[in-house]
Amino acid sequence: MKKLNIWTLFFLLTSLSCNSLAGKYNQILNIGDTLPSFTDLPSIDNSTLSSADIDEEVVVLVMLANHCPWVKGMDQDLVKLVDSFKGRSVKVVGFGVNLREDDRLEAMKTHAKTVGYNFSYIFDETQKLGRDLGATRTPEYFVFDKDRKLTYMGLLYNSPAKMNKDGSIRHINGEPSEFYASDAINTTLAGRSVLIAETRAHGCSAKYE
């Protein structure tokens, strides 16, 4: 009996230790973790992008999926977010990992042109970037500082938006009043700790193989 209790305690402590390495809503990353590296991922502009190519002080990764109504619902707000940091040292990179045809690179090119995406948009067929980030939803935001440490992950704002079948957009909690990603970017640029560093992402499930 004594031996059983010792092993039970061991596995309990091991489990708690592993869980402490992850965030509140993310099973892989925690605030302060390092940006996962990626190499030569194809972009909608027919170039490739590697994490080592990015020189800006702040990097924002956003997992997207063209087909997702929650992505379509916040598309224009993402475009506005990028515009709001124009001229500042911020690099926004959208990325897709879903392997369904309407989420692959050629469809990404069409979607980006239609919506007016003003940021890099890359595709990872291996799905490694999404897995390394612990990303599970589209859209899902990740903000990294000049040392490439994670400062924020989760929602764009506190009222996720969904595009309805008729093309109208509905915010599930009314008009947004807390702008988590924008606040995190500004705070990170200023070199301060982000007050709300993690929120639960809301949207379509990532389609990992």
Q: Does the residue 78 lie in any domain?
A: yes
Would you state the pLDDT for residue 21?
66
pLDDT tens, 112-122? 999 999 999 99
Would you state the pLDDT for residue 199?
98
Domain, as residue range, for 106: 22-205
pLDDT tens, 151-207? 999 999 999 999 999 999 999 999 999 999 999 999 999 999 999 999 999 999 999
| Total tally of structural domains belonging to the chain | 1
- Specify whether the CB–CB gap between 44 and 112 falls below 8 A: yes
CATH number of 64's domain: 3.40.30.10
The overall average pLDDT reported for the chain is 92
Q: Does the residue 106 lie in any domain?
A: yes
Sorting pLDDT into bands at 50, 70 and 90, what band is 41?
very high
Please compute, for residue 79, the number of CA atoms within 13 A of its CA located in the half-sphere on the CB side.
14
Q: Does the residue 123 lie in any domain?
A: yes
pTM of the model: 0.89
Distances in Å between the Cα of 207 and the Cα atoms of 23, 76, 117 are: 21, 23, 22
Question: Tokens representing 138?
Answer: 């589209």
Q: Distance (Å, rounded) from C-alpha 97 to C-alpha 78?
A: 19
Q: Does the residue 181 lie in any domain?
A: yes
Q: Does the residue 51 lie in any domain?
A: yes
**Paired strand residues for 95:** 63, 122
Q: Distance (Å, rounded) from C-alpha 137 to C-alpha 96?
A: 11
State the angle between helix axes of 69-84 and 180-189 in degrees (0 to 180), rounded to the nearest 10.
Answer: 30
